[in-house]
Amino acid sequence: MKRIFEFGDSLGPDKVVHIYDHHSGLKAILVVDNVACGPAMGGVRMAPDVTTEEVFRLARAMTFKNAVANLPYGGGKAAILANPKVPAAKKETLMRAFGVAIKEITSYIPGPDMGTDEACMAWVQEETGRAIGLPSAVGGIPLDEIGVTGYGLSVVADVASEFCSIDLSTAKFVVQGAGSVGLHTASFLAARGALLIGVTDSQGTLFNPDGIDIDQLTELKRQGKSVLDYADGGKLSRDAVIDIPCDIWIPAARPDVIDADNVNRLKTKLVIQGANIPFTAKAEQICHDRNILVIPDFIANVGGVICGAVEYGGGTKEIAFQTIEEKIRKNTTLMLENVASTGKLPRQIAIEIAEQRIRRATAYRSKRHGPGLQLIA
């Protein structure tokens, strides 16, 4: 088949699927990147402006994420091109239409992502018979509700702090993005003694050097309000979150928020990537040159997919937290020890670990299952 995309390599993508359904108004993109380790597991995000290339990059991050966590799954990602704040009835219609469209693509297991939640996965599950991140009422482990990704980020912080001379019990941190991942990360870090001093959402940035009450902030967001509605603290522009001096800076929103043009504004020792692909490659290189330790996304934010894998295998919430702790602590330590001994970028080391596991799995698969771009219109 003619190759019509500029992206892709020997690992994948395996399938690129564009979906359009006139009756529901559904427009969606699915990328199954690599299935060497097993069926592709990855989230379904809802946003109006996602591109095919972005979905591929997110799917590749999932390939690496699942491989580096040594899970029996490959990587995939999907995007529904719609405003996530559509009325609930319309959202259900779109999610169910998406489920119908992917039912026969059994090499992909969907989960929640930005703009979708446990209820969305319940609708998809009913149409497909497969999903992760389901509500507890239907036997799932509601990963957004219990904050497993944020818990994993706090474990990363505990490990990484020893490699960059940070005392986590007195550290000050900033979160870019006040969604589920950002708020749960803040809560778990605060439980370890760290102090939240800055946080942003789509309306602006809240800054308080004396600390922000995370319970109050979470309640505000639950009510649909902005971080700027928090009573005590400075109110800054959304972009100003980059300029706040801190020990730990955590991007937990959209891709590519830090690039070569703004990375030098960061004043921190440690970056833990809660979002997927939040830094460009050039920005990560500049941080490395400035001795800012950047923990890449597919090492740091793997808690959600580990929980999903445990759920899919019939495990419990307690097993999920235990598995997240063990896998993330082990992989972060392995990566950082290699960074210290080689001087390579953390992402480079992490990719080498993931690719080694993928290629080892590939050796056991029939050549008819090998990667190769398939376009399904």
Active site residues: 77
pLDDT at 279: 97
Question: In the structure, what pLDDT confidence band is assigned to residue 372 with cuts at 50, 70 and 90?
Answer: very low
pLDDT at position 313, please?
93
Q: Encode pLDDT of 118-165 as tens digits.
A: 999 999 999 999 999 999 999 899 888 899 999 999 999 999 999 999
User: Where does the chain have alpha helices with state H?
Assistant: 52-68, 88-102, 118-128, 143-146, 148-160, 180-191, 214-222, 281-289, 297-300, 303-312, 317-342, 346-362
> Are 166 and 158 spatial neighbours (Cβ–Cβ below 8 Å)?
no
Residue 367 has pLDDT above 80, yes or no: no
Residues of the chain with pLDDT > 90, as a percent, come to: 89
Q: Is 342 annotated as a binding residue?
A: no
Task: Tell me the percentage of the chain whose pLDDT exceeds 70.
Answer: 95
pLDDT of residue 6: 61
- pLDDT, position 5: 52
Instruction: Say yes or no to pLDDT of 3 above 80.
Output: no
Domains of the chain with bracketed CATH: 15-134 (3.40.50.10860), 148-340 (3.40.50.720)
Cβ neighbour number for residue 156 with a 10 Å cutoff: 27
Torsion of CA 278, 281, 283, 288, to 10 degrees: 110
38 in Cβ contact with 72 (< 8 Å)? yes
- The residue assigned the tokens 């005392």 is 167
DSSP 258: B
Q: Is 149 annotated as a binding residue?
A: yes
What's the pLDDT score for residue 362? Answer: 87
Q: Is the pLDDT of residue 243 over 70?
A: yes
Q: How far apart are CA 324 and CA 320, in angstroms?
A: 6
